Structures are given as C-alpha cells and as structure tokens.
Amino acid sequence: MKFKELTFKDQHAERIYKDYIGRVRNSVKTLNSDNQNETLLEINSHIYEALQASAANEKENLSDVLQKLGSPEQFLKELVAEKKLEEAASSFNPLKILKALILNFGNGFSYIVFFILYVLLAGFIFMIYSKITNPEQTGFFYTDATSWVLGISQNSDQHEKELLGNWFIPVMILLTIFFYVVITLLLRFKKRFLKK
C-alpha cells in the first residue's frame, strides 16, 4: 500500500501534521523505499486511529497524539538501526553490514560481538596479503607437533615446517568466504529469532 497523507480541516493542524511527517521522512531516509513506506504507513495509521478516538479540536487532538508519540528522531532511531541491519544482512554487503552494526551498538552486546567477528575476518585477508609480500614467514607452521602458528612466524628454527605451502592463499580465501557467510547467516537468524 502506498503512503497517503491525512487531510485536516484546520490549517494549523495540517501544518503541524506535515511538519511531523517531514521529520519522520527525514529520520527514515537511509532505509530502502519499502521500509520507508512501511514505517510511514505505521505512524500514519497510529495517528489516524488516535484522531478517530476523539472528536475534540483537530489541532489540540493532533498535538496530543504527536506529543505522546514523541520526537521521531528519538523513537525511530532504534527502529531505523534494526531495519538497516536487516537490509544489510540480506544483501551480504560487508560495508553495509559493518555500518549497520555500528548503528546498533546501543541495542545490545551481541551487535558488538558480531562487529568484532567481522573485523577478525580482515585478519584472513591480511594473511593473504602477507603471504604474497612475505611468503617465507607467512603460513601454517608447526614444529615437531608441539607448536602451531597460523600467520606470520618470526622463528628462524630449521625444524619449523610450513604445512599448506602453495595452498595457503586458496585455503585463506575459502575460510574467509566460509566464515563471512556463516557469521552473516547467524546474524540473519538472530534477527528472525528475535522477531518471534
């Protein structure tokens, strides 16, 4: 359904309403058009139903309803962050996901954990770069099965062996893709689980 503004007989009420809806639109402008429309419809519906409950002066009644709703910049902040995260998780775009997680830092500790997991994935990418620039000291090393190192080893011990060799870069690429998909699916699952 398409959003349609309410009409008022009182010009002052009309102006107050349009100003408020403009603030709502400004608050949700970072969302995709479907989520913007859905949010506008929900708020508009709430305003309409509250106005129908009272036959008092339009301007006073509208002012009371909007005062009870509160500032859209405040009460929509969490909703916009949540919807932004849903959009990002469904797109699998890493930059959008990181931005959405940063928006959600205030909404729970789990979002900080997801942000850290995504940042740790950058470590795999760094190891790929390091393998290209410093192939002798980067890899998956072991020494007599007593110590294992994944990454950069400064140890010049002759007994240290690199296990993956030329397979190091493909394995790191596969691990990066695998963990990125798993973390993103967990994030999407978390969002669905919280909705139920």
Q: What is the tens place of the pLDDT at every residue in 110-135?
A: 778 888 888 888 888 898 998 889 88
Q: Which amino acid is at 116?
A: I
If asked whether residues 96 and 25 sit together in one domain, one would say: no
* Per-residue confidence (pLDDT) for residue 19, from 0 to 100: 93
If asked whether residues 110 and 71 sit together in one domain, one would say: no
Encode 58-76: b = buried (16+ Cβ within 10 Å), e = exposed.
Answer: bbebbeebbeebeebeeeb
- Rounded to two decimals, the pTM is 0.63
Any domain includes 83: no
If asked whether residues 95 and 162 sit together in one domain, one would say: yes
If asked whether residues 144 and 102 sit together in one domain, one would say: yes
| Cα(22)–Cα(15) distance, integer angstroms | 10
* Per-residue confidence (pLDDT) for residue 11, from 0 to 100: 87
Residue ranges making up the domain that contains 31: 1-75
If asked whether residues 56 and 116 sit together in one domain, one would say: no
If asked whether residues 149 and 111 sit together in one domain, one would say: yes
CA of 94: how far to CAs of 64, 102, 117, 122, 192, in Å? 43, 12, 12, 11, 20
Q: Where among 45, 75, 105 does a domain terminate?
A: 75
* Per-residue confidence (pLDDT) for residue 26, from 0 to 100: 92
Instruction: Point out which residues pair with 147 in neighbouring strands.
Output: 143
* Per-residue confidence (pLDDT) for residue 122, from 0 to 100: 86
* Per-residue confidence (pLDDT) for residue 20, from 0 to 100: 92
If asked whether residues 113 and 192 sit together in one domain, one would say: yes
Number of separate domains in the chain: 2
Q: Residue ranges of the chain with pLDDT lower than 50?
A: none
If asked whether residues 102 and 25 sit together in one domain, one would say: no
Give the helix/strand (H/E) hosting 27. Answer: helix 11-28
